[in-house]
């Protein structure tokens, strides 16, 4: 039953050439089930994120603070 326990988020704005990375880990496992930590805040982007203790954080939207355009969101789950 392999499940991912690390989420890496990369948010970037091509217009400004700004890229920022953040990650969250699942410290759960065993009988307690998943217990995701929250993502750190981003400094160059305004990020709207949700948090679910079992499924982990999810980015709903990201906006570049410099040009106020929607930013590109990439999510990668790993072990
Ligand atoms: Zn920008």
Distance of CA 10 from the midpoint of ligand 1 (Å): 14
Distance CA 17, CA 58 (A): 23
Question: Which pLDDT score, from 0 to 100, does residue 32 have?
Answer: 79
pLDDT per residue over 23-74, tens digit each?
999 988 777 788 899 998 999 999 999 998 888 899 999 999 999 999 999 9
Q: Which residue has the higher pLDDT, 1 or 50?
A: 50
Give me ligand 1 centre to Cα 19, in Å: 10
Question: Which residues hold their Cβ within 5 A of ligand 1, which is an ion?
Answer: 13, 15-16, 64, 66-67
The tokens 């990201």 sit on which residue?
62
Cβ pair 3, 33 in contact under 8 A = no
In the reported structure, the alpha carbon of residue 52 is separated from the centroid of ligand 1 by a whole-number distance in angstroms of 28
Report pLDDT for 3: 64
- pTM for the whole thing? 0.85
In degrees to the nearest 10, what's the CA dihedral of 65, 66, 70, 72? -90
Are 10 and 21 in contact by the 8 Å Cβ rule? The answer is yes
Q: Is the pLDDT of residue 4 over 80?
A: no
Interacting residues of 33 by C-beta distance below 8 A, sequence separation 6+: 54
């Amino acid at each position: 039953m392999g499940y991912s326990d690390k989420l890496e988020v990369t948010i970037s704005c091509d217009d400004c050439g700004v890229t920022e990375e953040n990650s969250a880990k699942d410290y759960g496992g065993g009988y307690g089930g998943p217990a995701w930590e929250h993502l750190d805040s981003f400094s160059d982007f305004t990020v709207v994120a949700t948090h679910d203790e079992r499924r982990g954080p999810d980015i709903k939207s990201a906006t570049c603070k410099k040009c106020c355009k929607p930013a590109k969101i990439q999510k990668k789950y790993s072990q």
